[in-house]
Chain A
Amino acid sequence: DAGVIQSPRHEVTEMGQEVTLRCKPISGHNSLFWYRQTMMRGLELLIYFNNNVPIDDSGMPEDRFSAKMPNASFSTLKIQPSEPRDSAVYFCASTRTSGRPYNEQFFGPGTRLTVL
């Protein structure tokens, strides 16, 4: 089992550029979560999908952030345009659920984003 796969592992970009983060959940898992971690705010849930449908996106900071899950094996988190305050580590996690969204989650290694 390869675990949750995220790419890229590191991304450095300039303010104003579009950034796309990618996640492949564990096969068979039907819920996927995007988190952001910063020194100031710790871990925050951005959005979660269940069966490819966004269920709760109340944690998405603003319209510059968007997330998609076109199929059960792939999700993207896009920031356009990026700003220096978006610099953080972005984690993707997946789990198999039957109703309750927050069973034990399996985290990817994270993408460290730096916006200059």
Chain B
Amino acid sequence: KNEVEQSPQNLTAQEGEFITINCSYSVGISALHWLQQHPGGGIVSLFMLSSGKKKHGRLIATINIQEKHSSLHITASHPRDSAVYICAVVNLNEKLTFGTGTRLTIIP
């Protein structure tokens, strides 16, 4: 079992829909990252969380340390949100492990 599991693996939605991507992990962590990889391959760091919730524009990230779970939400989704979203955790030994990513496609 991978230390970091993301769901769903693939998600297709209509423009305007509310999107949720989930990340579950099996180890104690000191931080969790959400990354966005564009179709061209570039990677952008969206959030780093160690507790609670963060919001940036239409993106919201939450984390529940007790449940070992984080979610990334996108409100009013747009085709330009189409990308692969990757969760990564930093365990208590400062090791970084990535999830396999969720491929999101937003249809106009």
Q: Which residues does A use to contact B, with CB under 8 Å?
A: 42-45, 56, 58, 89, 91, 93, 100-107, 109-110, 112
Asked if A91 and B101 make an inter-chain contact with CB atoms under 8 angstroms apart, the answer reads no
Give the distance in Å from the alpha carbon of A28 to the alpha carbon of B31 in the complex: 23
CB neighbours of B27 from chain A (8 A): none
Give the distance in Å from the alpha carbon of A106 to the alpha carbon of B43 in the complex: 8
Asked if A107 and B45 make an inter-chain contact with CB atoms under 8 angstroms apart, the answer reads yes
Give the distance in Å from the alpha carbon of A59 to the alpha carbon of B69 in the complex: 25
Asked if A104 and B94 make an inter-chain contact with CB atoms under 8 angstroms apart, the answer reads no
Chain B interface, >50% SS class: strand
Asked if A107 and B43 make an inter-chain contact with CB atoms under 8 angstroms apart, the answer reads yes
Q: Which residues does B use to contact A, with CB under 8 Å?
A: 30-31, 33, 41-45, 48, 86, 88, 90, 94-96, 98-101
CB neighbours of A42 from chain B (8 A): 86, 98-101
CB neighbours of B101 from chain A (8 A): 42
Chain A interface, >50% SS class: strand
A43-B86, A43-B88, A56-B94 in contact; A105/B100 too (CB < 8 A)?
A: no
Task: Give 9 A-B contacts (CB < 8 Å), ordered by A residue.
Answer: A43-B86, A43-B88, A56-B95, A100-B30, A100-B94, A102-B96, A107-B42, A107-B45, A110-B41
CB neighbours of A107 from chain B (8 A): 42-45
B48, chain A: closest CB distance, angstroms? 5
Give the distance in Å from the alpha carbon of A101 to the alpha carbon of B33 in the complex: 13
Give the distance in Å from the alpha carbon of A106 to the alpha carbon of B45 in the complex: 7
Closest 9 CB pairs of A and B: A107-B43, A43-B98, A104-B45, A102-B90, A45-B96, A42-B100, A105-B45, A104-B48, A42-B98
CB neighbours of B30 from chain A (8 A): 100
Give the distance in Å from the alpha carbon of A89 to the alpha carbon of B84 in the complex: 15
CB neighbours of A43 from chain B (8 A): 86, 88, 98
